[in-house]
Amino acid sequence: MVDALRAAMNDNGIDWFVIFSQDPHLSEYTAKCDKYREYFSQFTGSAGTLLVGVDEAYLWTDSRYFIQAEHELEGTGISLMRSGMAGVATLYDFLCEHIWEGQKIAFDLMSISFASYEKLRRRLPQSVEIEDGAKILKSTAGEVGKRQFNEIVAVPEKYAGRSVADKLSDIRKRIKKDILYDQSYSYIISDLTSIMWTFNLRGGDIEYVPVAYAYAVITGYGATLYLSKRSLSDEAKKTLDDEGIVVKEYSLFYKDLDDIATDIVIADPDKNNSRILSVFADRGDLARCSDAAIITKYIKNKAEIDGMRDAHLKDAVTMIKFIKTVKEAAASGSLGDEYTTGKMLDDARIADGSCCPSFETICAYRENSAIVHYTAKEGEAKKIEPESFLLVDSGGQYRFTGTTDITRTILLGEATEEEKSVYTAVLKGNLRLMDTIFPEGYKGALLDGIAEQPLWEKGYFCGHGIGHGVGHYLSVHESEARISRASSEGEAAIRTGVIVSNEPGVYNEGKFGVRLENLLLTVSAKSIDGNRMCRFEPLTLVPFDKDAIDFLELSEKEIGILKKYYGLIWEKVSPLLDEDDKKWLKETIDIK
Amino acid sequence: MVDALRAAMNDNGIDWFVIFSQDPHLSEYTAKCDKYREYFSQFTGSAGTLLVGVDEAYLWTDSRYFIQAEHELEGTGISLMRSGMAGVATLYDFLCEHIWEGQKIAFDLMSISFASYEKLRRRLPQSVEIEDGAKILKSTAGEVGKRQFNEIVAVPEKYAGRSVADKLSDIRKRIKKDILYDQSYSYIISDLTSIMWTFNLRGGDIEYVPVAYAYAVITGYGATLYLSKRSLSDEAKKTLDDEGIVVKEYSLFYKDLDDIATDIVIADPDKNNSRILSVFADRGDLARCSDAAIITKYIKNKAEIDGMRDAHLKDAVTMIKFIKTVKEAAASGSLGDEYTTGKMLDDARIADGSCCPSFETICAYRENSAIVHYTAKEGEAKKIEPESFLLVDSGGQYRFTGTTDITRTILLGEATEEEKSVYTAVLKGNLRLMDTIFPEGYKGALLDGIAEQPLWEKGYFCGHGIGHGVGHYLSVHESEARISRASSEGEAAIRTGVIVSNEPGVYNEGKFGVRLENLLLTVSAKSIDGNRMCRFEPLTLVPFDKDAIDFLELSEKEIGILKKYYGLIWEKVSPLLDEDDKKWLKETIDIK
């Protein structure tokens, strides 16, 4: 595949070609039409960057994908660059070391954020020319590139909780805070989840995330949406009409950018691609902002919270039945393989009311559970035996009401001492974070240590963030607020209404991994002396695996937290279960 | 005072004059010659900014100083702006709202970091002219402005642990990592502690911090130091000569800047003032770096660590004797006031081998202990009674060996339930952080929650950072690494050799405050599966107040940590005490 690209590079005098994995909206998950990197490299992981030189080619990906990438890159002649490993240069460092004065580099300007573009431009020698590689990609990548547009529907206000007019008015107020005089402005949004949320729309253009391709431009007096007009449902069309939103064809967006005549253009340089913002930055019209400060979708309103609670009740029923089935199959010797077991869960979730998974289910057995983003392939998946751990990380989209994301690590057979020790440490982390009280408005990084400390005490650490934000019937990974040591200045604070995951994990390579993930809703706690404090309400209502817990290692306090959680599960979920499942649940949560 | 400034403003057509509190090296503590803000506002706090308009004047300061500022600003006509309080604009926001197109604003370009200057310049309308106010300040501020230069001495290599040549070679290696080609560079350092550390020098120009006024320019092949040449001791002169350092007069630095002819100038925009860097930035020659990435003084070497341990042993003896004296005075009814008690400690520390305090001692009784940066004034200080808390935060500089910083809150009389509850919560936070294991290279913010959680559980939080870096016979506040929710991207990670304070505190306004502060040295912990883990070794070896602890609230684990700490105190400090003090220590640390 790379050969066709090299030929085009040669024709155009291009020395280096970079293929990023993001789409023009910088989406985390992308549709087939944007999978150029996959097409040229054969590597199917969600994160990775391909660099093609005249004689050599390299693919950068992170530790989640090392094993998969080794396998998939075999025979392609592409060298694997293991990001984050000692001695492995980053793409930028590598480029700066290998590119010569006067060489030409190309990439699709729409596949890189403006912030990253600026960083790269600053680091490359001035004599290096950057060319937009979009056309070359399209012409050499065959069937990739044909964008599909699916139906766009309106979210009824009873689920959205707020009207579009209300959200727009709030957004304009927030923008006003950041601009100084009576400047006219255009606020550009490319992030699909932000656009969907703002305009109370949902689509089906990207797997796992109910979004439609769109761009939005909001000014002080109006708003224009660029999308596939004929994909709009009647309801959606009517809502937009009623709200006075100008709707234009998706394909007109880049042309219309030239006509923007407001004093300034406001946009988040991390959330808009470099083709959109370069022009405005060059002419000094760009005012940088953080989308999280303006579009507050990460703070859920009452309707969204009610919907999320409802979705999680449905999800709990599915998960409890699933865990029971797996544990019983282990006892009766009728376990399937990772793929069939994962599929069984996916099917059950749909049967129980979910419209689709919120991400690709991870069903990973034994040593595969130590691979953070493992995907079992049909026919190649590992057979599950009645011993060791089965890690299942999955979630569902529930139409209009919410998005779920849960990980349970299920013990099959008898636990070894090491298995119990690791499981219990991870559980301690999960419980301590679930129970903590903290001041409203703190950033999540401050809570990371609370979940991680029990792991540290045993010499482990969690290789990934402890928690990510979660959208309301949107992306299961919402970037604004999170609980992660990779804290950034633009990061949103944790406050009442914010939903984050709580998913400490330990991965013993070659042996097993344990991750326990609940979604947590931030609610108010008692205030003392006027200090506004918060605590978490668990949205996820599924028990942990009693057989894997070393109860002697839990403190009295931790057992108290567990009991309280189990009390909540019983109260909320047991009425929805049939007698058999209810009996199983009762036994599982009975910890004396 | 402001009137004289207003007259000069009028003569020069200046509408607004800002007086920052930093010196040209952006030092935290400043000498009298740089205290323009204090001179014009009468406000003596360490942090504050004065804005003088044609008819109005404002002083911004933070919560540590609200009460003091109210008092000191009385009758000056200057309005107090309480930074961080709801509805109080920041200086920048205020300026942007109040300054008109075409107005002129002045400030001393040397008193603001280039990073802050850039931020302000971007936010002000383009038609607003910024004028360098340095000359006006000097001409109107009478005796302020006359810089004093004191003796500069060389730190013997056995205390510094590394030669100047070795440090310079390391610095050049680190710079090399950040520049791309064979560019010639000048690396500019204005931060006095960084210069002193790099060149193994110490001075006496600023109270509390043994630094001398200097600038340094390091190139790929040499280094130039600008300082008061005649202040150099023979030893220091010889060291610099031997190392081939070019030494020039302090006053020539700004003139010489114009002659810098390297391809690029490298400097930390947060650590160099705007007069230094504006020119290079304007001509595109400025490469921004973080000093912490290049000058690694925050990672202590063996000699520095040995010195710090030694200084802390001396300090522990002083502190133990002091606490015993205060507790006994409470029992016998012979307590003094805050000022005399603080002075007694300062004198004792000097008598025991310290050369000067490392900051102004805080000796705060009862409700004054709730004021984080309280200073008792002679004659106006509160009489100490045999009840409630006395909070004492103090430290010493120990010639060549180290710098100490300790806070103990001493209970006088019987504790109320609330006093015990708060003291115990703060102690729990201190103990948990002291005992934690964590992965090497994590940022301190991740550890903040571990110390704060016991406070949060009672509805309190710590209004300041949990920990700051500490210099080796340098500034007691070293900015590189810290344990604080105000984490920043440039912040250095916590790794073996880093020293931080551990000082959770709770402040119940109008009642009392409790802060317990130890310095901690980061050391290696056992590694599991190749994960490099760290733990802390307490440098501070002084017991907490047994009478204020509610032992029933401590977990078994916390009692274990306390016992281990007390064992260490006994082992290290008791041999240095006389019989009486040893007996008192034994009783104090006897917790069964």
Which SS3 state, helix, strand or coil, does residue B505 take? Answer: strand
Which residues in A lie closer than 8 A to residue B460 (C-beta atoms)? 528-529, 531
pLDDT at A146 over 90: no
Q: What are phi and psi of B424, to 5 degrees?
A: -70, -40
Best to test chain A binding among B181, B288, B434, B448 (most A CBs inside 10 Å):
B448
Counted residue by residue, chain A has a size of 592
Q: Is 0.90 topped by the overall pTM?
A: no
Which residues in A lie closer than 8 A to residue B452 (C-beta atoms)? 438, 446
User: Nearest to residue B524, comparing CAs of B537, B539, B538, B535?
Assistant: B535
Q: What's the whole-number mean pLDDT along residues A466-472?
A: 97
Q: What is the pLDDT of residues A169-201, one digit of tens each?
A: 999 999 987 676 678 999 999 999 999 999 999
CA B467/CA A148 separation, integer angstroms: 54
CA distance B462 to chain A (A): 10
Angle value at C-alpha A548, between A67 and A331, nearest 5 degrees: 90
Which residues in B lie closer than 8 A to residue A459 (C-beta atoms)? 437, 525-529, 531, 533
Q: What's the whole-number mean pLDDT along residues A140-157?
A: 90
CA distance B341 to chain A (A): 31
Please report the pLDDT score of residue A85 as a whole number.
83
Query: Mean pLDDT of successive 10-residue segments in chain B (592 residues)?
Result: 91 96 94 93 92 96 86 94 88 90 95 94 88 93 85 98 96 83 89 98 97 97 97 96 96 96 93 96 87 93 98 98 96 93 98 97 95 86 95 98 98 96 98 95 90 94 92 96 79 94 95 97 85 94 97 95 98 98 97 82
What is the phi-psi region of residue A315: left when phi exceeds 0, alpha when psi lies from -120 to 50, beta otherwise? alpha
CA B55/CA B513 separation, integer angstroms: 39
Say which residue the tokens 């960084």 belong to.
B194
CA B341/CA B336 separation, integer angstroms: 6
**B356, burial (CB in 10 Å: exposed 0-12, middle 13-18, buried 19+):** middle
Q: How far apart are the first and last CA of chain A?
A: 61
Tell whether B123 lies on the interface with A, counting CB pairs under 8 A: yes
Which residues in B lie closer than 8 A to residue A439 (C-beta atoms)? 456, 461
Please report the pLDDT score of residue A181 as a whole number.
62
**Angle (deg, nearest 10), helices A556-573 and A579-588:** 170
Q: Return the residue of B nearest to A288 by Cα.
A: B122
Query: What are the residues facing B363 on neighbouring strands?
Result: B392
Contact A529 B460 (CB under 8 A): yes
Q: What is the pLDDT of residues A232-265, one digit of tens each?
A: 999 999 999 999 999 999 999 999 999 999 989 9
What is the phi-psi region of residue A176: left when phi exceeds 0, alpha when psi lies from -120 to 50, beta otherwise? alpha
CA distance A489 to chain B (A): 7
Q: Return the residue of A nearest to B493 by Cα.
A: A485
CA A368/CA A384 separation, integer angstroms: 11
Query: What are the residues facing A225 on neighbouring strands?
Result: A216, A247
pLDDT at A451 over 80: yes
Q: Which helix (H) or strand (E) holds B98?
A: helix B91-98
CA distance A515 to chain B (A): 18
Contact A443 B485 (CB under 8 A): yes
Please report the pLDDT score of residue B180 as a whole number.
61
Please report the pLDDT score of residue B402 as a whole number.
97
DSSP string covering A445-458? HHHHHHHHHHHHHT
Higher pLDDT, A1 or A459: A459
Residue B197: count of CB within 10 angstroms of its CB: 27
Please report the pLDDT score of residue B482 as a whole number.
92
CA A424/CA A415 separation, integer angstroms: 11
Please report the pLDDT score of residue A283 as a whole number.
84
Best to test chain A binding among B182, B183, B485, B559 (most A CBs inside 10 Å):
B485
CA distance A414 to chain B (A): 24
Q: Return the residue of A nearest to B101 by Cα.
A: A181
Select from A438, A445, A456 the Cβ nearest to the Cβ of B445.
Answer: A445
Q: What is the dihedral angle through the alpha carbons of A74, A75, A81, A82, rounded to the nearest 10 degrees? A: 10
Please report the pLDDT score of residue B181 as a whole number.
62
Select from A97, A438, A488 the Cβ nearest to the Cβ of B489.
Answer: A488
